[in-house]
Amino acid sequence: MDETMDIDGSKIPQHIAIIMDGNGRWAQKRGMPRTAGHRAGIKTVKRIIEFCSQIGVKYLTLYAFSTENWKRPEREVSALFKLLVYYLRREVMELNKNNVRLNFIGDISSFKDDVRFEIERAKQLLKDNDGLIVNLALNYGGRLEIVNAVKEIIKGVKSSKISEEDIDEKLFSNYIYTAGMPDPDLLIRTGGEYRVSNFLLWQIAYSELWYTDTLWPDFSEKDLLSAIADYQERERRFGGL
């Protein structure tokens, strides 16, 4: 695979997280409705998942819908959910072929029945795969995730399942959506914005950040390789020397 020539195969980031931004602008630039941008964005999702599987990334966390995205016009929100259902129905077999497991992070309890049904179905179908784990962040907010973890820990303390002295960073990590997973090594944001936007606030404490002006529908395997090459050049010290 000649695209991988520039990177060190022995130092592939285990966990990559991506803020997929720029679908709307991609469509507007072409005089198309914003939803056409989201459709194009799904094609990128497919390509990047497949590529991450091939190069041996273990976890890929994608920000698909934030708790703030409800503020968008109803029409766009419902189009996004339709696309999600369509994607899950259509792509689950392809994901299976690639040995991908799907995991969902965020509060999906308020989603409509058909959406939750597809989510459950896809999860079930792929649950025995042991390749790339894709975390789809849906109705996800990093602060809310932390608040919910605090509430769960308080419940544990009240019912004497947890003692106060046991509360540390490691214990806390077991009460967030990514419990049991390594933190992202690399956080990528497309679309020319330099914000974290309430994504994985706890988990990105030591992640390398990589930004590009490229809009998500145009984001390519080559772009991902440049991100990984830059990541490999940076020395990660975790606060040490």
Contact of 85 with 122, CB cutoff 8 Å: no
Q: Is 25 in the site for ligand FPP (CB under 6 A)?
A: yes
Strands 101-105 and 59-66: unpaired
Binding flags for ligand FPP, 141-180, as an x/- string (CB under 6 A): ----------------------------------------
Is 148 annotated as catalytic? no
Q: Is 189 in the site for ligand FPP (CB under 6 A)?
A: no
Strands 101-105 and 208-211: unpaired
- The residue number with the shortest CB distance to ligand FPP is 24
Q: Is 69 in the site for ligand FPP (CB under 6 A)?
A: yes
Q: Residue 115 corresponds to which tokens in the numbers above?
A: 């959406």
Q: Is 23 in the site for ligand FPP (CB under 6 A)?
A: yes
Least distance from C-beta 201 to ligand FPP, angstroms? 18
Q: Is 231 in the site for ligand FPP (CB under 6 A)?
A: no
Number of residues that bind ligand FPP (CB under 6 A): 18
Ramachandran assignment for 56, one of left (phi > 0), alpha (psi -120 to 50 degrees), beta (any other): left
Burial of 64 (0-12, 13-18, 19+ CB in 10 A): buried
The active-site residue, picked from 8, 23, 69, 96, is 69
- Residue closer to ligand FPP (CB basis): 152 or 223: 223
Least distance from C-beta 78 to ligand FPP, angstroms? 13
Of the chain, the end-to-end C-alpha distance in Å amounts to: 36
Q: Is 17 in the site for ligand FPP (CB under 6 A)?
A: no
Residues 6+ apart with CB under 8 A from 38: 23, 24, 27, 79, 80, 83
Is 130 annotated as catalytic? no
Q: Is 79 in the site for ligand FPP (CB under 6 A)?
A: no
Q: Is 227 in the site for ligand FPP (CB under 6 A)?
A: no
Enumerate the H helices of the chain as residue ranges. 23-29, 34-55, 74-97, 113-126, 142-158, 169-173, 221-233
Amino acid in position 183: D
- Residue closer to ligand FPP (CB basis): 23 or 207: 23
Q: Residue 36 corresponds to which tokens in the numbers above?
A: 């056409």
Q: Is 136 in the site for ligand FPP (CB under 6 A)?
A: yes
Binding site for ligand FPP (CB under 6 A): 20-25, 38, 41-42, 45, 64, 69, 83-84, 87, 136, 191, 216
Catalytic residues: 21, 69
